[in-house]
Amino acid sequence: MATSPRSNRGPGAAAENRAALIAAARSIFATHGLDAPLSSVARQAGVGQGSLYRHFPTRYSLAVAVFQENADELEAIASRPGSTLDDVLRAITDQAVVSTAFFEMIEIERSDVAGQQLAHRISTIVTSKMPEAHASGRAPDWVTSDDVILGVAMLVGALAKTAVDERRAVAARAWSLLPFGPR
């Protein structure tokens, strides 16, 4: 729902404006991808373009702020006692079904420090689950965390070209082709 910009309420509204921009960007990126017009993010957040660019000088800085939450969620799942690679891959799949933008962003901006940090966080999460996956037989010994990350990238590539209502079924089919897909 688009709203008109609120009147300038000064620096006291900065945190509220930032939160509104992040929420709006999450919604817009999920619906229209990373290339969505940033003017639509500002409009949905109810702030002006100036406020958007004061908080987030680049599209990428906005995307990083939005997707920190995705990485936080994955880290929380991975840190639970008894969590497995399957749990992490199910959560990644759930996130990708809603929006492929997070994973696309990590792949696109490998040269950006913030993007590298997000990619490293995801790699660390997957790597932490590999010993249990190997020991339990869920992943063959030859499968590495890089192989799993490649599987995620392939899944995201397929989902990005799939209608939202068909993504869950396509994800299940894609994972069934790989020896480490979540069961």
pLDDT digits (tens, 9 = 90+) for 32-91: 888 889 999 999 999 999 999 999 998 888 888 888 888 999 999 999 999 999 999 999
Distance CA 42, CA 105 (A): 20
Residue 1 forms part of a structural domain: no
End-to-end CA distance of the chain: 37
User: 87 and 22 in one domain?
Assistant: no
User: 78 and 42 in one domain?
Assistant: no
Placement of tokens 């406020």 in the chain: 51
Q: Give how many domains the chain has, as a whole number.
A: 2
Q: Report the candidate in 124, 28, 108 with the shortest Cα–Cα distance to residue 60.
A: 108
Range of the domain at 150: 60-176
- Report the Cα 86 to chain-centroid distance in Å: 18
User: 67 and 52 in one domain?
Assistant: no
pTM of this prediction? 0.80
Distance CA 135, CA 129 (A): 10
pLDDT of residue 69: 85
